[in-house]
Chain A
């Protein structure tokens, strides 16, 4: 890897390290909950852990994109635009599924059809993102899904309107995911310091979830 390339892309490397860390957190959460699921076959646990698997896959797709950009290994083979489109399609599908599965993990008792509907939504979101070639569409769609999730949560959990710690963590997780998606938009300018702070807070949110999972499932 040429050193001058690395020097010019120092933030890209920091971004890749951040993505790698979050991916590892997601996968640890997925594997830590394996036994709890295999013992109980509880659907809520299944959707919860699959949500983090999909989130991990979304971050892995993002990481591969960053590695390819940093190393330039596909230069001359695939155009930057084509690579970007493949990444955004994968990130779009995996992240939308992750969000929907997280919603499903607490609403699974309400309907058997949610999973089919959610897959259709995730594929549609991914297709629309490719056709419009704009990750911003993804951000807006996912923001819409988030609002729907809040409404559904208020309808189905009307008895427990308490703002529990996990709801706050989920809220932060989603907000930082959207900010991350915003970074994927080409020509998005944001000061490096601000990006670094967002990355650190984002890592902290994942660390809190991992800590909660580890504390409860030893």
Chain B
């Protein structure tokens, strides 16, 4: 059985998916790639928006896409160092 992903890891995975899709992905494929339940996905999306890690962009046709903010890019960049810090200090 695979280990349940930690919250920080899920956030990293979501942001990495967006980043790997040229920083623009629709919510449905993001949900599919994330391997989360719809309920968990919605909770995480709320958290990401509240923490200003992603933003929702609506195009002229009214289609929604999710993109990373500067803070989101920084999270992706720093995730591994922060994880190392958490593990080292047993936080």
8 Å CB contacts to A: which residues of B76-91?
Answer: 78, 81-82, 84-86, 88-91
> What is the total of A-B residue contacts with beta carbons within 8 Å?
53
The closest CB in chain B to the CB of A38 belongs to B71
Given contacts A216-B84, A217-B81, A217-B85, contact A40 B90 (CB under 8 A): no
Chain B binding surface, main DSSP class: helix
Interface bin, chain B: 10 to 19
**How many angstroms between the C-alpha atoms of A157 and B91 in the bound complex?**
12
**How many angstroms between the C-alpha atoms of A137 and B11 in the bound complex?**
46
Q: Is B41 an interface residue (CB 8 A)?
A: no
**How many angstroms between the C-alpha atoms of A106 and B86 in the bound complex?**
10
Contact A42 B91 (CB under 8 A): yes
**How many angstroms between the C-alpha atoms of A106 and B75 in the bound complex?**
22
**How many angstroms between the C-alpha atoms of A45 and B82 in the bound complex?**
9
Contact B89 A39 (CB under 8 A): no
Contact A216 B81 (CB under 8 A): yes
Q: Is B57 an interface residue (CB 8 A)?
A: no
Q: Which residues of A contact B8 (CB under 8 A)?
A: 40, 42
**How many angstroms between the C-alpha atoms of A44 and B85 in the bound complex?**
11
Contact A41 B51 (CB under 8 A): yes
Contact B81 A39 (CB under 8 A): no
Q: Is A93 an interface residue (CB 8 A)?
A: no
Q: Which residues of B contact A166 (CB under 8 A)?
A: 88-90
Q: Which residues of A contact B91 (CB under 8 A)?
A: 42, 44-45, 47-48, 105-106
Chain A binding surface, main DSSP class: helix
Q: Which residue of the partner chain, among A47, A164, A167, A213, contacts B85 with CB atoms under 8 Å?
A: A213
Q: Is B21 an interface residue (CB 8 A)?
A: no
Contact A48 B89 (CB under 8 A): yes
Q: Is B74 an interface residue (CB 8 A)?
A: yes
Q: Which residues of A contact B84 (CB under 8 A)?
A: 216
Given A33-B85, A44-B86, A166-B88, 8 extra CB contacts under 8 A: A36-B82, A42-B82, A42-B91, A44-B91, A45-B91, A48-B91, A106-B90, A167-B90
Q: Which 5 A-B residue pairings sit nearest by Cβ, starting from the closest? A: A44-B91, A216-B85, A106-B90, A36-B82, A39-B75
**16 sampled A-B residue pairs with Cβ under 8 A:** A35-B74, A36-B85, A39-B74, A39-B82, A42-B91, A45-B91, A48-B89, A48-B91, A106-B89, A106-B90, A166-B88, A212-B88, A213-B85, A217-B81, A217-B82, A217-B85
Binding site for B on A (CB under 8 A): 33, 35-36, 39-42, 44-45, 47-48, 105-106, 157, 164, 166-167, 212-213, 216-218
